[in-house]
Amino acid sequence: MVTALYPGSFDPVTVGHVDIASRAAIQFEKLVVAVYDTPSKNLLFTTDEREQLMKDACSHISNVEVVRFSGLVVRFAKDIGAGAIVRGLRSGSDFEYEFDMAFMNRKLEPEVDLVCFMTSQDYMFVSASLLKEVARLGGDIKDMVPPNVAEAVYSKFGLPVRDG
Ligand code: ADP
């Protein structure tokens, strides 16, 4: 049985991320969800916030551990004894990105493999970056994020939580 690592920015965690984590946790003995400390992206949430939101969102999955990490994903995978990196695929563009990254990662660390999970149909249009834009403009994001997250996103934009 193998420990797997599910890395990401998770800014913030969405229902799509939780779906991938839940399904990966069935296939692996242990799943370490790792919140990337320093992605090359503009972030809405701090690492502490992203980590805590992910912990709350995954608290119902017993074999999931949420941690933070920095540096190379494959090196971190090796350090924690993970044999596989889990990623989610929504579209051809996700595939292209993961395809390139997989070859680079294999060159760096041949013992760590990549396992991609296809998004569930209900979540294929859920994207952390798009939902932040929707929330910023006052749109309804509650179906796209776990219950604890919607409130956190609206409050970042100084907006009241929507109830309907
Ligand atoms: P990144 O790690 O590239 O910064 P994210 O933190 O947004 O991206 O996502 C982490 C992983 O989850 C990536 O593999 C991404 O493709 C996947 N993912 C994001 N949203 C969804 C979704 N709605 N369904 C399935 N997988 C998703």
| Pocket lined around ligand 1, Cβ cut-off 6 Å | 8-10, 14, 16-17, 20, 39, 87-88, 90, 94, 119, 123, 126-128
Instruction: Give 91 Cα–ligand 1 centroid separation in angstroms.
Output: 11
Instruction: Give the domain extent around 16.
Output: 3-121
Query: Which atom of ligand 1 is the closest one to the Cα of 123?
Result: 23
Q: Which residue has the higher pLDDT, 107 or 163?
A: 107
Q: Is residue 129 part of a domain?
A: no
| Ramachandran category for residue 63: left, alpha or beta (phi over 0 → left; psi -120 to 50 → alpha) | alpha
Count the domains in the chain.
Answer: 1
Residue with CA closest to ligand 1 atom 12? 88
Query: Which atom of ligand 1 is the closest one to the Cα of 11?
Result: 6
Contact 141, 150 (CB under 8 A): yes
Predicted pLDDT of residue 94: 93
Q: Is residue 150 part of a domain?
A: no
Q: Which residues contact 24 (CB under 8 A, 6 or more apart)?
A: 4, 6, 31, 86, 115, 117
Q: Is residue 61 part of a domain?
A: yes
Nearest of 140, 129, 139, 154 to residue 43 by alpha carbon: 129
Percent of the chain with pLDDT over 70: 98
What is this structure's pTM? 0.95
Q: Is residue 145 part of a domain?
A: no
Q: Is residue 27 part of a domain?
A: yes
Q: Is residue 131 part of a domain?
A: no
Q: Is residue 136 part of a domain?
A: no
Q: What is the CATH number of the domain that holds 101?
A: 3.40.50.620
Q: Is residue 71 part of a domain?
A: yes
| 104-119 pLDDT per residue, tens | 999 999 999 999 999 9
